[in-house]
Each structure stands twice: as structure tokens, then as C-alpha cells.
Amino acid sequence: MELRALRYYLAVCECGTMSRAAEELHVTQPALSRQIAGLERELGCELLERRSRSVRPTEKGLYLRRRAQEIVGLADQTSADFSHDDDIVAGDIHIGAGESASMRLIAQRVRAFRERYPDVRFHLHSAVATDLVERLEHGLDDLAVLMSYPEDERYSHLRLPLSDAWGVVVREDDPLAAREVISPADLAAGPLVMPERSWTGERLAGPLAAWFGDEGDDVEVAATYNLSFNAALLVQEGVGRMLTLEGLTPAGPGSGLSFRLLYPPAVSIIDVVWKRTATPSRAVRLFLESLRET
């Protein structure tokens, strides 16, 4: 597969019509159609469902779209790494991160780094840990900021001098809103809205499993989530109480929600992780050095 054909295919998927994609690419529509047809012949399947005025990816086309985004992104990043002189710190740094109030430290270091090296551009991608590790594996991100990430010989890591505290978000009319802190027994009976990384489908996992202890054997999980904004809506509608990290969900007067810390305290450590076998760019190496100075 040629990169050009993949770029053309991504443009068609984004634009939704051949004519509009041809305009964006500054090519003729017949030339674009031949590229897409050649790609379909090469792969032996239809990639687009053609309608009278639009096109959309088939199931296999959606798979190719995801892979093409990875391939083209990696190619562009590789080209950028070779496009700058050795005496200039420039280029792109791709950082994947889970939701965490501790990302403020990364943001502060990004600001300071760009004040010194204004030709460096940062790209942030928010996702859950499993997706972030996959992006590291495929070379889509240079670094990942992960909470309570287990040791893995495939990766190097830098531990930040921060941690995130776990708590529970409840409706302000919930009896638990009157408590100062929340114990495992307080949550054992009611339905919970859990981070998906903390629930395997059968049992609790990670720091929350250790915090619940024996009380976690029979917890009722009503829903799981990966990002907290939509999960807070479930709490507001009475679906359950949400376990989350401090500082991620607006709570307090006017929100209809309250946040209470867990007791005994449950915390997640923060690691910056990168692939051990990868060769980081000069910009990435210098940024890591700046993080080590915090």
C-alpha cells in the first residue's frame, strides 16, 4: 500500500464524498476514484459503501481507516524528526495521558519548555491506559502519562513527585454527602459507577480493589466509564455513586454533586512512560530531562 493511496482514502472518509475529497486533495475526481479502486483491488474487498451523493466506510473500511491513521501519522512524525538541523530543537512531541489533575504539572513543564524551545509543538491525546499503551507500541505517542502503571520490562518510566487521591462523587441529596470521608463499608451496598480500568467484568482491579478489600467481593457495579464527564451525568440521574480521582468532576454548590475522599486514603502514583526500544527525538530527550528536574 502506498502512503499516497492511504492519504487519499482518509480524505474520502473525512469528506464523505469523492468530489469534495478531490477538491481538498487538488486532484481530479477520476484520478481519486482510480486510487481508491486500486486500493480495494489490492486488499480484495470493498472499502466504501457508495450512495447516490455520498460514501461511507464499510466495516473493513473502518478497520483500514484506523490503521491508515496510524501509518500516516507515524510516517509524518518520522519525516518531521529528520527535517530539523542538529543544532535546532524543534519538532513534535506526542503525549498520551489519562484523566488526572496531576496533568497540571505536565502543562507547566510544557509551558516552560516552549518558552525555551518555541519551535517544539506538543500534541496531547486523552485515553484510558490500555489505549495509551497501544499507542506507545505503535509509535503514535512518544510518552504516556499513566496512573498506577505496573512495572513492564518493555517500557522505561519516570515517576513524578505527585499522586492522585481517590474519592466518590454522589448526589448532594445522597446520605453519604453528609460524611467527611467514605469507607469501604459505606459503598458496599449501593450501585457504583466505576472506571473501566478498575472493573474486569467480574471483580475489582487495581488500587480500588486493594482499598475495598473483602468489602469488594459483592459490590454492585451499575456502569463503567473511561472519561468522567458523561459518568457524572449518570450520578446526577441516580444511576449510582461514581468512584473517581479528585479534581476531575465539578462538585459543590450549584452542581448538584458532592465529592468525598476515601478513607483509608487510596492514591494512584503518576508515571511518565516510554517504549524502551524506541529512539526518542532530541526534543523528547530534552523534555524528559526537564521533567526529571521537577
Does position 151 have pLDDT exceeding 80, yes or no? no
pTM: 0.68
**Is there a contact between 232 and 125 (Cβ–Cβ < 8 Å)?**
no
Q: What is the DSSP letter of 256?
A: T
Does position 184 have pLDDT exceeding 90, yes or no? yes
At residue 152, the pLDDT reads 80
| Bridge partners (DSSP) listed for residue 165 | 267
At residue 81, the pLDDT reads 65
At residue 85, the pLDDT reads 55
pLDDT (average), residues 208-217: 90
Residues in contact with 114: Cβ distance below 8 Å, sequence separation at least 6, in sequence order: 120, 122
Does position 7 have pLDDT exceeding 70, yes or no? yes
84 — pLDDT class (breaks 50, 70, 90): low
Closest CA to 279 of 179, 139, 147: 139
242 — pLDDT class (breaks 50, 70, 90): very high
pLDDT (average), residues 169-175: 96
190 — pLDDT class (breaks 50, 70, 90): confident
Range in 113-122, 143-152, 175-184 the model is least confident about: 143-152
pLDDT (average), residues 63-84: 83
At residue 86, the pLDDT reads 55
Residues in contact with 70: Cβ distance below 8 Å, sequence separation at least 6, in sequence order: 138, 140
